[in-house]
Structure 1
């Protein structure tokens, strides 16, 4: 275990508040706690535009797969809830960040800014035509990350 504790000093995990993403947060919290690492919990959000009907239509089509959060206040609530889950799993040093932007870009930006050693993502992606059109957060983040990536199996 000493090799792992020497390797990971800063762990970043993304959440959208879904139960699936909170499972990844818990796993990241347990790992960060075991490594005495700082856990950075990030949530991406889009700014709320009063007349932005396109986002509403996209959410209607995607339903449960509409993982993008609208507005900074819901994102801040999401990371607070995730921090509680991470603490219960063993994380001792937790930092929360709500980041404007798309999920993958926001996560990779946080990884760079925090000089993270590890990015943790859940395996829940978008299946079928939705995934081909919009891409998968876990797959895109894994492919583009410059640090180690742990993909947590969060779905049955």
Structure 2
């Protein structure tokens, strides 16, 4: 089966970059467009002010979508190294599951790729993990890449 569009979620972590590399390899093999997706939630004003006080001139790094944009730029490097021919960056405000499912639908993706982080954690079992939520809600194929030591 070939895919014309593959969406992959990243949060800027090393484990998410493993999922990005896997998705990029698949996109390269099929000539698919790769959509690198990062969800973010705005900081409460009190958190933002405290971070700004500590960071000084670097306070912009924790404002708005900047952390997500930084994660996507780093992920683009991993995607390029894996040979992805066409890469689209998408930083969107919202819950990770909602953002990933929405982007997959909007881009008419055939495949949505996420890492397995959270599947085997207590928090993931109690609160729901991104891989679990995506696998239940996505209208396309879902690939859960084993990106953590517990999943390999």
Same fold (TM over 0.5): yes
Counterpart of 1:103?
Answer: 96
1:14-48 superposed Cα distances (whole Å, 9 cap, x missing partner): 00011111000000001101100000000000012
CA distance in 2, matches of 1:96, 1:85: 13
- Pick closer, same or farther for the CA change 1:128–1:42 going to 2, 3 Å: closer
Point out where structure 1 has 5 or more consecutive residues left out of the alignment. Answer: 57-68
- Name the stretch that deviates more: 11-20 or 132-141: 132-141
Cα offset, 1:79, TM superposition? 0.6
Counterpart of 1:151?
Answer: 144
TM-score after normalising by structure 2: 0.83
1:113-152 superposed Cα distances (whole Å, 9 cap, x missing partner): 1111100011111544422332111111011110001111
Q: Does 1:88 align with 2:88?
A: no
Pairwise mapping of residues 29-44 of structure 1 onto structure 2 (< 5 A)? 29-44=24-39
CA distance in 2, matches of 1:13, 1:147: 12
Q: Does 1:13 align with 2:8?
A: yes
Q: Does 1:134 align with 2:127?
A: yes
TM-score after normalising by structure 1: 0.81
Cα offset, 1:52, TM superposition? 5.3
* Pairs aligned (count): 137
- Pick closer, same or farther for the CA change 1:18–1:70 going to 2, 3 Å: farther
